[in-house]
Every structure is written in structure tokens, then in C-alpha cells.
A and B are shown apart, each in its own frame.
Chain A
């Protein structure tokens, strides 16, 4: 009821904002509002747990109010304030006010665009891109509701940009001969502030020059450099990680097919100047893809080959979203032994504290359960091999099929000459039964995505052999009950079993040891719920979900179950 009460307060604010737009175009309000109530119920059948709390309840209401000011046609200023009230804290210390974002953007001379303050930016998958990990790549109809809010809070956008603070400048030149257009994009952001002791200001700068030679050929050069600004601290060590890449993309028609060939290649250096113990890591990569589109048949297929060197380091491309060194906020410790609870996908879909908001040097730790093959995206070092994909959608949009398969291996061996092989694949199918049945006003969609990932290595000695297998499945159901009210259902399962030798890296991201990794676990989530669609931007959802964690490994983690109910209101205006 509290949520509804808060919504009644917040909703008029949104309408006032829209009215302001209508009355005065120079100043208007935009933003979002959210209200959440949830309850968790924990249980374990593995022991008589008398220590862990059985139930947790909580929630919050928040509104992001962005004031957009346009003093002239060339300047736009936005300041967004977040007001948040955790339940139980109203009229008290639970209410927080934060500046969520602040930027100024404009245009000079009719051609030079600039933005100061908060900027969302990306270049290419090997220079600067916010990669969504495999575990979060395909959210379901229920798990996606809280995940979308986590991503919204962290500024993880659908276009894979990283939220940065700094400045960006864009401009382009058009030509009448030889070239169509030449575009310049430059940025500089600060990712770390000096502590006036041994931590220097760390700057991430770069840009791209892209040339559109014609509608069939694009060429580009990208540069990104994460570096310490000398003189901003007492440290004698200056870290540098420049990455320079070149891209080319060409399209042509042949055999009644539209072909697109794309290439990205480049080099990176990672060094710590002034540190006599630090290595200089240099390496290169190349990634070439050929894609075929049969647009008249709604069919596309692609095949690519890439080779990313073991010492290729690109902070902007390899920084991960999930920080696996953290622990979940809910039920951080559980069981009579109060052991630390491992991150499960239930946590990843709702706990924003597990995520990383800034790019950093080197390679972060990753969890082999959720992606052992490409934890750092396409820029994962020491990988080479073939990637394929195929997509087909019925002309009448009654169903869709998608398949992906990657066959990768190490470029150089990890502690042995024998190379690990990584096979990743998934199949997705969606049936829009309402279209098959001719229902125009009701949705009846059912989809399933099944995926596997295998890591294997065989060698002349037993200790070289590894075999780690992940299997996942996600079934989703969306059915309109009446009007704008949908029934939602989701089943999600993630399973990893086997053995691997995981690299342990030093502060310079060099491998210094291999640790034995044994696992045999399954996590599943079954959820059902209702969603009322006020509009495309405003929804009210209520769902129940059961999350099961099962660990079959001897001496492994304690199995447990968490039942949750969640009331979720989201709105953008």
C-alpha cells in the first residue's frame, strides 16, 4: 500500500513535467520513477539452519527528476536529481537526495557538437565498449524486470556505452569527391581522482576518425588510452594502456545476397613507467567477419575469425560489468556456519552493488560458471577461432529462430603447450502463437533459449586435462489475459559441472599460478507474475519466483531456496 501511496505522489509530478513542456519549451522535466516492494523467504533442507534469518522484506520508492534547460538553440543543460526513500525511512534518515547526472551539450558554429559532464560513450569492441556478459545477455520476462532497473541505475545502456565524466567533441566533414564524409569523435574523461598521495589522476582519452568513402565502404581509426596523469600525485609510477585499431567495413551484392565484410585489427601496450618490476605487455589482434543477408527471406548468417593475443590489454573493452570480488547484499552469509554466499543469477538480476561502474587497468577476476570462454567479451585475450551466427524470422513474424556457435582455443598454452578449446553455442526459438491463431489484440508468446559452453584440454599428462561444461536454459511465456494485463512465466536454469585450472594473475595481469577449480552445481528460477501496461513506458508488475541453489560437490556450498514476491512499478517520462 505504501508503494501505491508514493506512486500517487509521484505520478502528478510526472504530469506536471509534461505540462511544463507544453507550456514552455525552454525548460522541461524528464526522468523516471520507480516503486518496489519485495519479500524474500529463505530455507534450506540441507541442515537445520537456526542462524540465518528466514524472511527479509524491504523496498523503496524513487524518482529521478531531470530538469532540462535550453537557454538557446545551441545549448542544452540537464540536471537530474534522484530522491529515494527506502521503506521505513520516510521522514527520517532513509531519504536520500543525489545528483544522478549533470551535463551540458551544445553545438558551435553549426557543426561542432560538444558535451561536458556526464557522457555515454563507446568506440569499438576492442577499444571502448561496455560488454554485457553472457549471464545477462538474455534476460527473461520476469528476471528482466529488476535487471533493467539495475542497468538503468548503473547507466548500462542498450548501445553498450560506458557512463563517463568528462568532455566529448564530435564533428564531420563532407566531401564532394572521392569521400562522402569524414567524422571525428574525440573524448577525454577522468576515471580516477588523485588522493594527493600515491594515486594519480587517471584519464581515459581517445577518439575515432571514420571515413565513409561511399555507401559501401567505411574505414576508421580508433584510439583509446587509459593513463595516469604525471605530476598529480607523489607516485613515480605512471600507468599507460594505449590501444590503436583500424576498422574497415564493406558491403556488396552477389548471388542475390547482400554481403558485409568487416575487419578490426590493432595493437595495445600496457606498461607502468617508473616501476622496475613491471612488464611491458604488447600484443595485437584481428577480427574479421563476413555476414550474408537475404532480406527478402528474413534470413541472415555470419561467420568470423578472430585472434586476440595473450598480452592484448584494452581497459575500455575488457573492463567487466560484474565485479566478482563482491558478495551479495541479501543473505550475504547463510547456514549455521555463516559461510559467504556465492553470487547467483538471482543476485545479478537485482543487486546493483555487484556491478562495476568504472573501467580499470588489467584484467578483472571472472567467474567460470557464467562465461569461461569470453569473460572479457570479444576482446578476451588469448583466444582465437571461429564465430558463427544465423537468424531467421518468419515473414509474418509468427516465429523466430536464432543460433550461435563459437569454436575458440587458446593462442598460447596456459602452463603447457596443449591448448584449451572453448565451445560456446546457443539456440533460440520464439513462437508468437497469437499471430498463428490470428489474435490481433492479445499476445501469446513462448520462447526458449538453450546454451552450452565447454572448456576442454587434453594433453599427454593427466594434470593437463580440464573439462568444464556449462548448460543453461531459459523458457519465457507472455500471455495477455485481458486488455493490458499480461500473464508472465519464466523458467531459468544454469548448470556448471567439471574441472578447470584457473589462472591467478598478479597486479600486472600476468599469470602467476593456476588454481584447481572443481564445481558441480545447478541454480534454477521459476517465476510467474502479472504485468499491467499503462503504456510502453509505464508498467506495474507483481510476480513470485522460487530460486533454488543446489551444489552436489562434496564439501561444496550449502544448498538453499529463496522464495520471493515482488511488486514493481516503473515509469519513464
Chain B
């Protein structure tokens, strides 16, 4: 009998062990249960001022976990934000918040936006659109050092050189189809004696603080821009040059200081974001210290290049440096 009691004691000791009692695997209701909307899709505000840190929260509740998508579409820009999730409810706690960022270019302007919800359940497709438009009073403030967004025209401190050629145009375009805002920059024409169509020089003296205000760590600094080309254009190349003033004498000396390049060969016909880490730029001179030092950036050049000296037409918008991560448009 003592032995039986001892055995039972051991068993009871084990029974008292902790064990997770959560059900195994996905909820059957989510896999096989019927889909119902228990609480209609809605936004908690119809007016938002992103520049003041405001956001738009959405809410909805379902009978089961589903893959859902919220699409927000700018009515004048065509910008689109897509928020996705796999939950049985949408609210601020599980990602149902729009912070003013963009998923599909262009970036949002101050404009009215349409928001709609789509649900893809196993055997159910569901969609719902907000009855009211969301009015964006002001767009969000992007954290970074903006070289130019071309909104006020070209920075007067920038210098533009244009080769002799046919139909040459290196200038801003005021048009709401830009990737950001209402103005972008056009580079077009045909030069038959040389590949580059000219260049835009962007010295640090052109800025209010007479400098690119950047970190000294090339590993965390990103250079971002939007670009596209016109339909039918081929052999297009964009070259960005970055000159460092290592001895801080105010000028760049190609014999003793670093020049870095980023070469973009081929462009899409729709606006696309390009983000390059500063430390990934390629060194083009040999006289400098070879260290990538963003805080010593003296000036930048943008060179539109036609590889085969054929007609060229490309556009850029919103040149901006960000830190720690690429630009979130």
C-alpha cells in the first residue's frame, strides 16, 4: 500500500505541472466558420492633419479571422495606401491606422481620400466603402534632409548646365502627376556628340544652413529619390555624384578628396522610389581618404546620360536623405 501511495504521489506531482492549454493550430472557426460583419467598417475621423502628428483609425469587426485590406486612394493625386491584416477585428491596436504614408506612388497631397475595405475569406469575398471621404488637411512631415522637392522651382543656389542639342529641357514641371507634390524635374533632349545632356550641380552653399545636415555614419544614411522615364525612351542612365570636402576648406579637390557615384541604369515608366545607402556608393577617385563621410558632403551632381546618344526624357522628384531607414513615402 505504501508503494501505491508513493506512485500516486508521483502522479499527482506531475499532474500539478504547468502546461499550455491553448488550442492547437488555427481556430476552426477561422477556417470553416461562416463569415459575417459584426460591426460595420468606419473611420474614427473624416478630417486629418498629418503634419500635426494626427492619424486616421479604422474599425470593423468580423465573425472570424480573415485576410483584410484597407485601401485609401487620393482623389486628386491617385496616391494609394494599403493596410493589411489577418484578424477578426480592425482597430488601432492591430494595425488599422493610416499615418499618412503611401504604398503606391505618388505621395498623398492635401486632398480628399476614398477608403474601402476588402475581405478575402475562404469562400467569401466582401468589400465595403466608407460613405464619407477623408479630408487630408496637410501631409505628413518626412523626417530627413530634403535636397529638393522642386515645389518652389529649382533652388536658386543650384547650377544647371545644358549641352547643345535638340529639344533640350532641364527644368521643373508644374503638374500634379509628380511623385510628390505638384512639381517635379524634367531632363530631356537629344545630344549626338556626347552621352550626357548636361548636369545639375547642388552645392551645400545652396541650403539655408550652408550644408548637408547629415550623420557622419555612412551606414545609416540613405539617399532617396523618385524617378521615371517617358514611354519609348531607351538607354537612359542617371548618375548621381557626391563630392566630399575632407579637409573642410569649402571646395572639392578631385586629386585629394573622395568622389562617390551612384549610377542608375534603366528607369521605369511609372514613378518608382530608389533608396541607396550612402556606404553603398562607389568611389571614383583615388586621392582621398576612402572613407564615406556623409557629414563632409560638399556638393552633389545629377547627370542625365543617354547611353547611345539617343533621345532622352526622364523625370526625378523629391531628392532626400534619411537616416536609419529608407524613405517611407
Contact = CB atoms under 8 A, between A and B. Distances in A.
B83 to A, nearest CB: 25
A250 B25 contact: no
B231 interface: no
B3 A265 contact: no
Interface string A273-307: 00000000001101010000000000000000001
Contacts of A382: 24
A286 to B, nearest CB: 5
A413 interface: yes
A209 interface: no
Interface stretch (B7-15, B106-114, B178-186): B7-15
Contacts of A309: 19
A24 B114 CA distance: 97
B32 interface: yes
A514 to B, nearest CB: 6
A413 B24 contact: yes
Nearest to B4: A261
Contacts of B11: 263, 265, 286, 288
Contact of A503 (B19, B22, B25): B25
Interface in B1-50: 3-4, 6-7, 10-11, 14-15, 17, 19-29, 31-33
A511 B25 contact: yes
Nearest to A414: B24
B103 to A, nearest CB: 26
A464 interface: yes
B38 to A, nearest CB: 16
Contacts of A263: 7, 10-11
Contact of B19 (A283, A461, A513): A283
A388 to B, nearest CB: 18
Interface in A491-524: 501, 503, 510-514
A40 to B, nearest CB: 41
Contact of B3 (A217, A412, A461): A217
A463 interface: yes
A415 B17 contact: no
A512 B7 contact: no
A248 B23 CA distance: 32
Contacts of B22: 412
Contact of A412 (B7, B21, B33): B21
Given A250-B4, A283-B19, A416-B28, 18 more contacts: A246-B10, A250-B3, A252-B3, A261-B3, A261-B7, A265-B11, A284-B17, A286-B14, A309-B19, A412-B21, A414-B24, A415-B25, A415-B28, A461-B29, A463-B31, A463-B33, A513-B25, A514-B25
Interface of B: 3-4, 6-7, 10-11, 14-15, 17, 19-29, 31-33
Interface of A: 217, 246, 248, 250, 252, 261, 263, 265, 283-284, 286, 288, 307, 309-311, 382, 411-417, 461, 463-464, 501, 503, 510-514
